């Protein structure tokens, strides 16, 4: 069999083919018979059923809320306000930067308490200290 014969056979497959028997009559008869035998769809007809459904939804919401509350950490870590100690730059722009760096240093210390062997946190803490030193040097140079 060569390619031309395959193509001819494929073209023949594109022609409509009439079924040997009428399929719609069999489908209709099956559906009509099944519909007569089947009970009505299950519905919540009574007021008590609706109340039970509402109570079930409410209980699920309360359960999920209670579970979430118990899984959420109960104690929050108190964050102390940033302390600049005795050093407060006179320039308000530098004061804002000093507060930000001090806050970052405190947050890095808290993170290091949770993961003391993290080299990334230690590098960030070192870099923050260096930036604070540069800021102090800038204030000394300015004035």
Residue 138 lies in a domain: yes
Domains: count for the chain:
1
- Tens of each residue's pLDDT in the chain, 143 residues: 788 888 888 888 888 878 788 888 888 888 887 665 555 555 556 777 777 888 888 888 888 888 777 776 655 444 444 454 556 777 777 788 888 888 888 888 888 888 888 888 888 889 988 988 888 888 887 76
Residue 32 lies in a domain: no
Residue 99 lies in a domain: yes
Residue 81 lies in a domain: no
Q: Which two tokens stand for residue 26?
A: 């069999």
What is the per-residue pLDDT for 118?
A: 85
Residue 112 lies in a domain: yes
DSSP at 1: -
Residue 7 lies in a domain: no
Reported pTM: 0.39
Residue 108 lies in a domain: yes
Decide if 105 contacts 125 (C-beta within 8 A).
Answer: yes
Residue 38 lies in a domain: no
Domain ranges, residue 113: 92-142
Decide if 109 contacts 125 (C-beta within 8 A).
Answer: yes
- List the one residue out of 70, 79, 71 whose CA is nearest residue 113: 79
């Amino acid at each position: 069999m060569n390619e031309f014969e395959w193509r001819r056979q494929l073209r023949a497959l594109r022609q409509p083919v009439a079924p040997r028997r009428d399929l719609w009559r069999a489908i209709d008869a099956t559906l009509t018979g099944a519909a007569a035998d089947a009970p009505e769809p299950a519905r919540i007809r009574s007021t008590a059923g609706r109340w039970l459904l509402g109570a079930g939804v409410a209980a699920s919401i309360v359960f999920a809320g209670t579970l979430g509350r118990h899984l959420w950490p109960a104690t929050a870590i108190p964050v102390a306000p940033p302390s600049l100690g005795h050093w407060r730059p006179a320039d308000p722009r530098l004061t804002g930067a000093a507060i930000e760096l001090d806050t970052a240093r405190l947050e890095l210390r808290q993170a290091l308490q949770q993961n003391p062997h993290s080299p990334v946190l230690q590098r960030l803490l070192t870099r923050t200290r260096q930036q604070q030193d540069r800021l102090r040097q800038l204030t000394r140079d300015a004035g």
